Amino acid sequence: MNMKQHFNLSITSPCSEDFENFQATETGGFCSSCQKNVVDFTQMNEEEILQYFKNNTGKTCGKFKPRQLKTYTLSSTPPRRYGLQWIGTGFIGLSLLFANNDSMAQSQSSPPMPVETHSNENTNKSNSEEYSQPTSHTITGQVINEEDREPLPGVSIIVKGTTKGAITDINGRFKMSDIEDGLVLQFSYIGYSTIEHEVSGQSTIDISMEKDQVELMGDVVVEGVYTSKPSFWQRIKRAFQ
C-alpha cells in the first residue's frame, strides 16, 4: 500500500497587482513591486501542481484559478526490498534467454520465403483519390457544466469562420451534419469560457465547460501535510515485495 501525503493550498491575502504587467519568466512573471517571481499555475493540471509542491518546499507566490485551491493527495511508492521475489525474477530472466536463443536458431535454419511483388500503381492511385476527398459526417454530443456535471442547454456551437452552427437542447445535446475533418467548433455560453474543438474523425463530441472565474494571486499557504503510517502487517508485507 502506498504512503499518502495530503496538503491543502490556499491564498489568505490575495495580491492586487496586475499579472499582465509582470515581466515574463520561465514559470510565470516577475513582480517589480514585491520583487518576487509569481508562478502561473492556471495552465497546469493537477498532476503538474502536485509535482511542483513535491519538489519545491520553500515559499511560493502563485496565480491560481479558485478551483485549484483545494486539498491534494500525493501518493509515493516506498522503495522496494528485494527478497524471495529476486529469485523468481532470475528464473524468469533465464527462461526468456533460452527461449530467445531457440527462436533465433530456428529463424537461422529456416530458408527465407520468396516474396511476390505486385504493382502498387492501382493501390496508390486509389489511396491518393481517397485522401484527396474531404471526409464529412454527422456529429452528435453533449455539453455539461464541469463543476456539477449537469447538462447545459442553450450553448451556441459555431463552425469557426462560418455562420453554420447549432444550439444545445434542454439536455445539453446537439447534432450537426456535414462537418468535415479539420474544422474547428466553437462552444460559447454566457458566463463560461469559450472552448474550441478541432474535428478529427469523431462522430461523438462531449464537452465540459467551466465558469469564468477571477484568478487569485498571492503567497501560497501549504498546510495540513501529513504522512499515513503503515501498520505492522503492511510493513511485514513490504519486506517481501
pLDDT tens for 51-85 read 898 888 888 999 888 778 888 887 655 555 545 45
Q: What is the pLDDT of residue 105?
A: 53
Residue 211 has pLDDT above 90, yes or no: no
pLDDT tens for 127-150 read 555 555 667 889 999 999 988 899
Residue 118 has pLDDT above 60, yes or no: no
Q: What is the pLDDT of residue 187?
A: 95
Between 170 and 66, name the one with better pLDDT.
170
d(CA 158, CA 161): 8
Q: What is the pLDDT of residue 57?
A: 81
d(CA 135, CA 131): 9
Residue 221 has pLDDT above 70, yes or no: yes
Residue 121 has pLDDT above 60, yes or no: no
d(CA 225, CA 220): 14
Instruction: Delimit the CATH 2.60.40.1120 region(s) of the chain.
Output: 136-200
pTM: predicted TM-score of the whole model, two decimal places: 0.45
- Domain 136-200: CATH superfamily is Carboxypeptidase-like, regulatory domain (2.60.40.1120)
Q: What percent of the chain has pLDDT over 70?
A: 65
Q: Enumerate the H helices of 121-240 as residue ranges.
A: 121-132, 232-238
